[in-house]
Amino acid sequence: MNINPLKLRLSEMRGLRGAFSFYRDRIERFDKDLKAFLQVLQSSAEETERSFPFSLKDNILALGTRTTCSSRILENYESPYDATVTCKLKESGGHLLGKTNLDEFAMGSSTENSAFFTSRNPWDLSRIPGGSSGGSAAAVAAGLTPFALGSDTGGSVRQPASMCGIVGFKPTYGLVSRYGLVAFASSLDQIGPMTRCVQDAADVMSIISGHDVKDSTTVKSSLSFNIDLKGEVKGLKMAVPEEMLDYRGLEDGVKASFMDAVEELKRAGAVIEKISIPSVKYAVATYYLIAPAEASSNLSRFDGIRFGPRHEATNYDELVSRNRDMGFGREVKRRILLGTFTLSAAYYDAYYRKALRTRKLMANELKAVLTEFDFILNPSSPVVAPVIGEISDPLSYYLMDIYTIPANVAGLPSISVPIAPVDGLPTGMLLTGRRFSDVKLLEAASFIEGFSPAYEDGLTRIAERWVE
């Protein structure tokens, strides 16, 4: 092949002869170390010169593939239909390369909770790629796929994108259909693209966004993502919440990289002010009451009778108990128990209802800030990617999503863009906008690419070990 697909944007890849064999060859050569993929599909006659390759997080259905959610309880589940996003990509000329690894049922921040194996960070194989869309992030960052879709419930697209040094975009809730996405927390889940540049994210959004009669939470919107991003920030007003900047878990190097990027935005004419959003200090607590409660309801269907392997038992209760005990991993069990507890009659008012009130308060405070400002700025993650196995306390992982959770709680669009690395490890800047400001958000994010050292020739850099 005369043209290297790793140097091309998605719009330039259509019609490129040999793109599919190029990426399959890279997967065969490199994924044994990276462990990003759970399944790799064989070539087919549908891979024409007009088609383009893509990958899916393995909680998104695609006919002819298994959809395991990285769980033993679904390890042999065959997708009976295509998710809406899968259909749209296929209709636009996309052909699926494979399904990527994740934390089981998207519950985690590292892919260490996958029932099968832990994916690796392309910049340091001893470290996590983030999660829960860690396999998707690693595959894109190492150049094993031109782009992938992930799901974002509390940061699961943006946090691994930050840790792997790529772009991760969570659209406004309701812009992308969730039909065919295995539900974790239905009021928070949103599918989003993971790419090597913001323009590619916009191009993917132009395909997958839109109202869907199969998903009643989708909205009819006049937004068009068929745009060529110009990357202008002059005159835009941006807010930096002091509660987030003063968070004691924020690493010094990550903070310094973020503040350097803030200064670059100021030099370009953006108006940036420190503000206070008092409720965001409760974001993690609020999320970990609402999300497990919804997960407790959504995962009740997985009893080992309708889905998954069935283990021998003498009665129905024992059957379901054994099936779930064998099929679910530790983190999934933890969240189901937490959610069931908070929904119980004795504690519903004390915990769940209070969390809903706090969610409303937080959404209103964010809305008020975004009425005055165009965007809210944060680091995407308070830390660079930790070493695999380094963290054993679940709360430490929960707090890694402290910057990304507010956008899910309020249904806002949010994007992570790579900025200067810290000790060779990627970091990201997080921009969050008001509902349906997605295009404006992408425009601002594309400006950051112009000064970020994480880019080369308009695309995020690939670590040397993955470059031919």
Q: Considering the entire predicted model, what is its pTM?
A: 0.97
* pLDDT for the residue 50: 72
Q: Is 149 contained in some domain?
A: yes
Identify the band that residue 39 occupies on the pLDDT scale cut at 50, 70 and 90. very high
Phi, psi of 327 (to 5 degrees): -90, -30
Bridge partners of residue 121, in order along the sequence: 124
Beta strands in 394-466 (DSSP E): 414-422, 425-433, 455-456, 459-460
Residue whose C-alpha is closest to residue 158's, from 132, 179, 184:
132
Q: Is 355 contained in some domain?
A: no
- Rounded Cα distance between 6 and 143, Å, is 6
Among residues 51, 55, 57, 114, the one annotated as catalytic is 57
pLDDT tens-digit series, residues 83-115: 999 999 999 999 999 999 999 999 999 999 999
Q: What is the mean pLDDT of residues 113-129?
A: 98
Contact 95, 23 (CB under 8 A): no
Q: Which residue has the higher pLDDT, 2 or 434?
A: 434
- Rounded Cα distance between 39 and 82, Å, is 16
**Which alpha helices (H) appear in 165-282, and where do they start and end?**
198-208, 242-245, 252-267
Among residues 55, 132, 279, 416, the one annotated as catalytic is 132
Q: Is 166 contained in some domain?
A: yes
Q: Is 292 contained in some domain?
A: no
Longest dimension (CA), the chain: 71
Contact 201, 431 (CB under 8 A): no
Among residues 156, 162, 279, 437, the one annotated as catalytic is 156
Indicate if 133 belongs to the active site.
no
Q: How many domains are contained in the chain?
A: 1
Q: Is 106 contained in some domain?
A: yes
Q: What is the mean pLDDT of residues 285-310?
A: 92
Indicate if 132 belongs to the active site.
yes
Identify the band that residue 18 occupies on the pLDDT scale cut at 50, 70 and 90. confident
Domain housing 436? 5-230+414-466
CATH number at residue 70: 3.90.1300.10
- Rounded Cα distance between 243 and 70, Å, is 35
Indicate if 57 belongs to the active site.
yes
Q: Is 420 contained in some domain?
A: yes
Q: pLDDT at residue 339 above 70?
A: yes
Q: Is 41 contained in some domain?
A: yes
